[in-house]
Amino acid sequence: MTQNSNQRDGFSGRLGIIAAAAGSAIGLGNIWKFPYITGEYGGAAFILVYLICIAFIGLPIMLAEFVVGRRAQKNAIGAFKAEAPGSKWFLTGALGIITAFILLSFYGVVSGWTLHYLGLSALNSLADQTPEQLGNVFGTFIADPWLPVLWQVLFMALCVAVVLGGVKNGIERYSKILMPLLLVILIVLAIRSLTLPGAAKGIEFLFSPDFSKLNMEAVLAAMGHAFFSLSLGMGTMITYGSYIGKQENLGVTAVQVSVADTVIALIAGLAIFPAVFAFGIEPSSGPGLVFITLPNVFGQMPFGTGFSMLFFALLAVAALTSAISILEVIVAYLDEEFGWKRKTSTLVVAGMVTLVGALLSQGNGILSWLKLPFLISGEVSHMNIFDWFISLSDQLLPIGGFFIALFVGWKLDKKAVADELSNDGKLTIAYLAAYRITLKLIAPAAIAFVFLASIFGWFSP
Ligand code: TRP
């Protein structure tokens, strides 16, 4: 690479930033998780709470991460060390690195599932199966000791290939190709779904709220998912923020990325629920929704095989641009703080994450007898190691976000924040006062409340 040694690798411009940051945000969270939790928590009312969480907690925290990253020009830990030297704040970054490791280890596994299903669709082996058979296909597959690991390794290799290219020539370049592709596939699927006879019920499910279904558990799920979906709480947006040019408007960028992420989640809902209702399937079928329920829908559709392949290709693409952003958090940290070469860090981290992920995936198979205790809703439940790590990361992200909000709200110099948001006074930022209050009080209080309420089961029936 022809690069000046004192010039940091970064995004080339606005389009690259949006593609990469939206690429990080838009992932399995939008197309796999958002539809199934929306289904479980009853539809429109849950979506409304989710939108509130995005606007009042997610968006301000994304902007806070951008501020810290671009100001410090450093990775998730280095940024805290640079902005608050000699303090314990770097622990927020350290928590982020740990969370990134945990998250990527299972994210790679689920991403591998999408590749397997792409293969199954291509071989036409999902067609002509009853719902029970499709359930068995999924159950047998994830319990297999080898197959999920094989696909996971392949997926992680793709991540390595992208991240080895660096920020501009790897992450940005692939995001710019893959994100438009994702949008096109998703729109094709949504049109197909919306034009099925009986699609209206799905639209009603998504947009006419039934508040009787809303409880504290749903509120927590909405908040946790806002963090997950926007890639917040563990330094992804600090790291990406550090690659954003000094002339870019951070506030506008954060709004664009948040809106893009939300719109894609809603379109994913429009691609899935009308079809689910049109074929009389239960919307609340949980994590298996896109792996069991949708193939069932495709099976009853003209050109179902084609649509099925499109859908799982879409999932894989979305997963890839997200997984690379998680990997980059750890890679940037090792490169900058310990002087590792990108090649070394990428291979070592991906190798370790793949190993841990392969072990976790056995929670659905060989190790399914191993149950770990987890405190949620005031009760200790026992789950397999795969689900345990997913639940753990659901709790770690809001904790990270809480501290990032406090850091920018209280610790960072007032003027530093204003300078970063206004590009040293070149932009007028009418929202500054409101933003301060949000970061100092509103977001942290909301996170703390929802977090404690969910763990201890306050207001739960
Ligand atoms: N946002 C991605 C998704 O919706 C996942 C993701 C990527 C992520 N980077 C992250 C989640 C950082 C939390 C933190 O699938």
| Complete domains list, the chain, with CATH | 14-456 (1.20.1740.10)
Q: How much of the chain exceeds pLDDT 90, in percent?
A: 76
Mutation pick for ligand 1 pocket among 231, 237, 320, 330 (CB with most ligand atoms within 8 Å): 231
Q: For all residues of the chain together, what is the average pLDDT?
A: 92
Query: How many angstroms is it from 280 CA to the middle of ligand 1?
Result: 31
pLDDT at 461: 59
Contact 133, 339 (CB under 8 A): no
Query: How many angstroms is it from 89 CA to the middle of ligand 1?
Result: 23
Average confidence (pLDDT) over 304-313: 92
243: nearest Cα among 9, 63, 80, 18 = 9
**Would the CA dihedral through 454, 456, 459, 461 be positive or negative?**
positive
Cβ neighbour number for residue 198 with a 10 Å cutoff: 12
Helix (H, G, I), strand (E, B) or coil at 424: coil
pLDDT at 450: 87
Among 90-104, 244-258, 281-295, 324-338, where is mean pLDDT lowest?
Answer: 281-295
pLDDT at 3: 44
Residues 6+ apart with CB under 8 A from 324: 23, 24, 159, 162, 163, 170, 171, 174
26 — pLDDT class (breaks 50, 70, 90)? very high
pLDDT at 386: 94
Residues 6+ apart with CB under 8 A from 426: none
Radius of gyration over every alpha carbon of the chain, rounded to an integer in angstroms: 21
Among 226-230, 334-338, 379-383, where is mean pLDDT lowest?
Answer: 379-383
Token pair for 461: 């029936």
- Does pLDDT of 6 surpass 70? no
Distance CA 401, CA 399 (A): 5
Distance CA 309, CA 315 (A): 10
Q: What is the pLDDT of residues 443-453, one digit of tens each?
A: 999 999 988 88
pLDDT at 74: 97
Average confidence (pLDDT) over 342-346: 97
Contact 424, 415 (CB under 8 A): no
Our measurement of the distance from residue 258's CA atom to the centroid of its chain's CA atoms, rounded to an integer in Å, reads: 12
Helix (H, G, I), strand (E, B) or coil at 142: helix
Average confidence (pLDDT) over 306-316: 92
pLDDT at 460: 64
- CB burial of 14-24 (b: ≥16 within 10 Å; e: otherwise) equals bebbbbbbbbb
Q: What is the pLDDT of residues 388-442, one digit of tens each?
A: 999 898 889 999 999 999 999 999 999 999 999 999 999 999 999 999 999 999 9
pLDDT at 1: 41
- Does pLDDT of 131 surpass 50? yes
Alpha-carbon dihedral angle through residues 390, 255, 317, 115, given to the nearest 10 degrees: 20
Ligand 1 atom nearest to CA at 393: 13
Distance CA 309, CA 52 (A): 34
Q: Which residue has the higher pLDDT, 225 or 132?
A: 225
Among 114-123, 171-180, 437-446, where is mean pLDDT lowest?
Answer: 171-180
For ligand 1, atom 9: residue with the closest CA: 231
Query: How many angstroms is it from 104 CA to the middle of ligand 1?
Result: 9
Ligand 1 atom nearest to CA at 325: 9
132 — pLDDT class (breaks 50, 70, 90)? confident
Distance CA 193, CA 277 (A): 10
| Ligand 1 environment, Cβ below 6 A | 24-25, 27-30, 103, 228-229, 231, 233-234, 236, 322, 325-326, 397
Our measurement of the distance from residue 433's CA atom to the centroid of its chain's CA atoms, rounded to an integer in Å, reads: 29
DSSP β-ladder status, 379-384 and 371-376: antiparallel
Distance CA 286, CA 36 (A): 5
DSSP per position, 241-305? HTTS-TTS-HHHHHHHHHHHHHHHHHHHHHHHHHHHHHTT--TT-GGGIIIIIHHHHHHTSTTHH
Q: What is the pLDDT of residues 270-296, one digit of tens each?
A: 999 998 888 888 888 778 888 987 888
For ligand 1, atom 6: residue with the closest CA: 231
DSSP per position, 55-122? IIIIHHHHHHHHHHHHHHTS-HHHHHHHHSTTSSTHHHHHHHHHHHHHHHHHHHHHHHHHHHHHHHHH
Alpha-carbon dihedral angle through residues 347, 348, 349, 354, given to the nearest 10 degrees: 80
